[in-house]
């Protein structure tokens, strides 16, 4: 097991470029199953979850050639719908993304339960309901502990998702592009990675309209062809590095940051007294930050609550909480989506933060507080990165164990931070 050893108190300075969006790379790799022609993906993030998805695809017979460090050529020509290794599927939540394309092109898939971060119950019901609407048989075999998907040709449908689930929307899209006739997906999620998936599929010959809205119109086609596609920057990594600069009182430039996806996130961070400037596709974080929480009218304690895109995303809640510990004032954080998202705050309290965990979904942060180095363990990807930020801001040395969790979502984060002046090293235990 590897750990990060961090000496806090050093401001970040310099430039960095984020990796490709993990949450786009995973569905794009799964979507390569929809064609037997070669597909070239550029800016593939070199992180644990992406390599796990590669292993899953290769176990089905997909040929993947590494053209350079971040460019892969993927060809799903000779596919064998084999039994997937449950030890691999439980490593990532995104293994469920195989259901849509496998049902559409090959008509079958037996899938052990998907895994991922332990942040509360994560339903798969919406996936099953959407695929059933398109004509697939989808069920859970409790005796064998596997999901079973079978289809003899899918047909278009008018689908109302019972929740705006990101991965369920992606599965429905991938299945619908090869279904006969027209499909309308209502209450669709619209995150940047879903928009990228739609644009990618259109490059391969799909007909998807109203991309970026919550109602997608898809005209099914008989087959898709090959193509090339660049994966856009990971906005979660971008905001994580914005947070790292802010809590260390540093100044950094983030190249190719995709600022068009950040307006709502910027509004929320402005409530914490955080600001940044946009120069073309770059984001510049100045060292001078107000870091004072903006109260609601009547001097009421403000609330930051997560909501489906384009509102504030749940995956950035942990980063915002750490930033709030360094801002003057009180603020309530509310994540109604996942009942375990807030549990990492006890680690921040151990470092000196003033946080009241009201219930599994809500926490009040009072700042600013001095943080002190501590021995910590990463519970999941986003909380793990938040602890890295806390350690960078803290006085003294911190050790963060189980950094494999962080590596699942952030490519060489320690190297990037060192290049910006952070005192961080990766050590073997």
367-424, pLDDT tens digit by residue? 999 999 999 999 989 999 999 999 999 999 999 999 999 999 999 999 999 999 999 9
> Is the pLDDT assigned to residue 343 strictly greater than 70?
yes
Report d(CA 426, CA 422) in Å as an integer: 12
CB atoms near residue 220 (< 10 Å): 20
Averaged pLDDT of the chain: 94
Dmax over Cα atoms in the chain, in whole Å?
65
Average pLDDT over residues 76-82: 85
> Is the pLDDT assigned to residue 312 strictly greater than 60?
yes
What pLDDT is attached to residue 115? 65
Report d(CA 122, CA 226) in Å as an integer: 33
Q: Please check whether residue 22 is in contact with residue 422, taking contact to mean a CB–CB distance below 8 angstroms.
A: no
What pLDDT is attached to residue 146? 85
> Is the pLDDT assigned to residue 167 strictly greater than 50?
yes
Average pLDDT over residues 202-222: 98
Report d(CA 305, CA 231) in Å as an integer: 29
Q: Which of 286, 282, 276, 284 lies closest to 249 in space, CA to CA?
A: 286
> Is the pLDDT assigned to residue 120 strictly greater than 70?
no
What 3-state class would DSSP assign to 343?
helix
Higher pLDDT: 381 or 92? It is: 381
Average pLDDT over residues 313-331: 97
What pLDDT is attached to residue 122? 52
> Is the pLDDT assigned to residue 315 strictly greater than 60?
yes
Sheet holding 182-186, edge to edge: 158-160, 182-186, 215-219, 207-209
What pLDDT is attached to residue 124? 83
What pLDDT is attached to residue 37? 98
What pLDDT is attached to residue 340? 82
Q: Which domains does the chain have, with CATH numbers?
A: 2-19+233-428 (3.65.10.10), 22-230 (3.65.10.10)
What is the distance in angstroms between the CA of the first residue and the CA of the last residue of the chain? 6
Higher pLDDT: 133 or 83? It is: 133
pLDDT confidence tier of residue 94, bands split at 50, 70 and 90: confident
User: What pTM was estimated for this model as a whole?
Assistant: 0.92
117 classed as catalytic: yes
Q: Which of 103, 104, 106, 63 lies closest to 226 in space, CA to CA?
A: 63
Q: Please check whether residue 420 is in contact with residue 409, taking contact to mean a CB–CB distance below 8 angstroms.
A: no
Among residues 36, 49, 85, 117, which one is catalytic?
117
Report d(CA 261, CA 257) in Å as an integer: 9
As a whole-number percent, the residues of the chain with pLDDT over 70 amount to 98
> In the Cβ-directed half-sphere of 298, how many Cα atoms lie within 13 Å?
2
């Amino acid at each position: 097991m590897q750990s990060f050893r961090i000496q806090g108190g050093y401001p970040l300075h310099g430039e960095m470029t984020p990796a490709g969006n993990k949450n786009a790379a995973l569905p794009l790799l799964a979507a390569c199953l929809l064609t037997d022609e070669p597909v070239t993906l550029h800016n593939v993030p070199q992180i644990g979850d992406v390599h796990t998805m590669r292993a899953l695809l290769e176990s089905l017979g997909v040929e993947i050639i590494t053209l350079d460090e971040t460019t892969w050529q993927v060809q799903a020509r000779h596919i064998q719908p084999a039994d997937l290794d449950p030890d691999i599927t439980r490593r990532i939540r995104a293994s469920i993304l195989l259901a849509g394309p496998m049902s559409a092109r090959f008509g079958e898939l037996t899938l052990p339960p998907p895994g991922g971060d332990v942040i509360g119950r994560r339903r798969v019901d919406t996936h099953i309901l959407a695929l059933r609407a398109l004509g697939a048989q989808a069920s859970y075999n409790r005796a064998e502990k596997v999901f079973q998907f079978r289809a003899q040709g899918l047909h278009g449908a008018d689908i109302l998702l019972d929740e705006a689930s990101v991965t369920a929307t992606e599965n429905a899209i991938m299945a619908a592009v090869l279904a006969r006739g027209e499909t309308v997906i209502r209450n669709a999620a619209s995150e940047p990675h879903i928009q990228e998936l739609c644009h990618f599929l259109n490059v391969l010959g799909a007909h998807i309209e109203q991309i970026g809205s919550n109602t997608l119109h898809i005209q099914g086609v008989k087959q898709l062809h090959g193509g090339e596609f660049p994966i856009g920057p990971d906005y979660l990594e971008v905001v994580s590095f914005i947070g790292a600069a802010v809590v260390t009182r540093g100044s950094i430039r983030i190249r190719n940051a995709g600022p068009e996806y950040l307006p709502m996130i910027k509004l929320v961070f402005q409530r914490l007294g955080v600001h940044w400037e946009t120069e073309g596709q770059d984001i510049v974080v100045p060292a001078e930050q107000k870091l004072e929480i903006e109260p609601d009218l009547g001097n009421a304690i403000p609330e930051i609550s997560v909501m489906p895109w384009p509102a504030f995303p749940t995956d950035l809640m942990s980063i915002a909480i750490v930033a709030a510990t360094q801002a003057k004032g009180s603020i309530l954080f509310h994540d109604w989506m996942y009942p375990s998202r807030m549990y990492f705050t006890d680690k921040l309290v151990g470092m000196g933060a003033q946080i009241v965990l009201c219930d599994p979904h809500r926490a009040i942060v009072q700042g600013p507080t001095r943080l002190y180095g501590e021995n910590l363990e990463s519970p999941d990807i986003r909380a793990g990165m938040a602890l890295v930020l806390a350690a960078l801001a803290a006085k003294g040395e911190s050790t963060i164990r189980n950094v494999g969790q962080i590596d699942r979502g952030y490519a060489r984060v320690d190297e990037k931070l060192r290049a910006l002046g952070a005192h961080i090293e990766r050590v073997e235990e």
